[in-house]
Amino acid sequence: MSRKKKKGSRFVSEEVELDLTPMIDIVFNLLIFFMCATKFRTPEGMIESYLPKDKGQAAGTPQIDLNEVRIKLLWYDADGRPTKAEKGGHVVVKVGDERFNDAGDFAQLRYPSTSGVWKALGEKLVDFKANYKGGGEKGLPVIIDARKQVPTKYVISALNEVVRAGIQDVTFAAPEIDY
């Protein structure tokens, strides 16, 4: 950039040089700052998966095994009615319509896992496994359905009996959703 100065009757042209180094430093600092501070959003609800190409909807209906066994660990009050209270309840073990204990049976035991209820449950599971004629690859499917108030030690005791019976297809039911 040139500047003209008046010197007497003549104009004198003087070159002014701008130092661009500080401006370039600031630009690079801003560039690095924005690169580090930027957060890229991942697309929501998008699941990357590789689906089999040799099978599709025309392959048929999936096989549903109706011979599943559902072990219910329910939470009852002292009067023997289902309750949603967090405290003061008792565990009741059921398979289908068969109850293995009454409300309060575990209350007298220091170690509920030593109760005869679990042995009876294990025998029932062995009987179900012996009479199973379904087409499941893993054998008899068992679902453990425990209410959220039931202490974990009872769920573990039920799982132990399933494992002792030699059953491999075990799932846990999702918790109930209140409407």
* Domain residue spans of the chain: 2-34, 69-172
pLDDT value for 56: 57
Q: β-strand 169-172 against 141-146: which pairing, if any?
A: parallel
DSSP 103-130: TTTTTT-SSGGGSHHHHHHHHHHHHHHH
pLDDT value for 6: 60
- Write down the pTM of the prediction: 0.59
> Could you report the per-residue pLDDT of 103-156, keeping only the tens digit for each?
777 777 777 777 788 888 888 888 888 888 876 677 888 888 888 888 888 888
* CA gap 118, 96 in Å, rounded: 16
